[in-house]
Amino acid sequence: MSDRTIGFGEFYHVYNRGVEKRNIFLDHEDFSMFCHHLYALNHEDSITNLPRQRDLKFSRKPIVKIHGFCLMNNHYHLLLEEILEGGISKFMQKLGTGYTMYFNKKYERSGALFQGKYKFKHVIADSHFDYILDYIHLNPHDEGPTFVIKKLLKYRWSSLPVYLNIAKNFSSIVSVEFFLDYFNGVQEYRNHLEKSFYSRNNLLSNAEILIDSFDEA
């Protein structure tokens, strides 16, 4: 899907993974730096003006709205809204370049870090809005019959603790108002997430928007 199809005010599931499926987050600092970039690079200024310190409070003018995210060892998921024409394209270019520069310098490597350009899918149908956030937040859950939301809440590199009002670490990164209003509050969203785990057929029925198609151009 071409960036030219991205529409103002529309929502998109954006994702990518490491080249050759390699891990792109090797330690705590890597996860933390990517989260810093989610905040600092969501700004009209060029990447050269990125603050050196990991300050999540400096003044900026966002170019996208981040409604959710989850970082895994070898890939990431973002739920973005286009709030400025060309904003998602500009933000993702800065994010990919900025993190690759950091990673390559730290680990003394060169070349591409990600598997080509980021992929994205348009979130448009009601069913997509019902399940896209659940899909992103359920990524860290181990396969198995038992749903343990406490374990998900212990996973730091996700927007779920912000949504459930457990932690404020990334409240400056994530905009939770739209989806908390959509699900009628924190407790209702928590209930919905648990139901999504036990009713996986609902997630599978929306596979075209949820499942990561990394082989797409």
**54 shares its domain with 143:** no
Whether 1 has a pLDDT exceeding 50, the answer reads no
Amino acid type, 5: T
**75 shares its domain with 26:** yes
Determine the structural domain holding residue 74 and report its residue range. Answer: 3-120
Does residue 217 lie within any of the structural domains?
A: no
Would you place residue 145 in the very low, low, confident or very high pLDDT band (cuts 50, 70, 90)? low
Burial letters 163-187, b for 16+ CB under 10 A, else e: bbeeeebbeebbbbebbbeebeeee
Would you place residue 203 in the very low, low, confident or very high pLDDT band (cuts 50, 70, 90)? low
Q: 13 forms bridges with which residues in the sheet? A: 79, 121
Q: Phi/psi of residue 78, each to 5°?
A: -130, 145
Tell me, what CATH number does 74's domain have?
A: 3.30.70.1290
Domain boundary among 120, 150, 174: 120
**134 shares its domain with 104:** no
Q: What is the pLDDT of residues 15-44, one digit of tens each?
A: 999 999 999 999 999 999 999 999 999 998
Give the number of domains in the chain: 2
**114 shares its domain with 150:** no
Q: What is the pLDDT of residues 119-131, one digit of tens each?
A: 999 999 888 899 8
**15 shares its domain with 114:** yes
Q: What is the DSSP letter of 167?
A: -
Q: What is the pLDDT of residues 191-202, one digit of tens each?
A: 999 888 877 656
Does residue 215 lie within any of the structural domains?
A: no
**149 shares its domain with 206:** yes
**60 shares its domain with 146:** no
**Closest by alpha carbon to 149, among 192, 179, 196, 190?**
190
**102 shares its domain with 153:** no
**109 shares its domain with 185:** no
**Closest by alpha carbon to 6, among 121, 116, 125, 130?**
121
Domain boundary among 120, 154, 173: 120
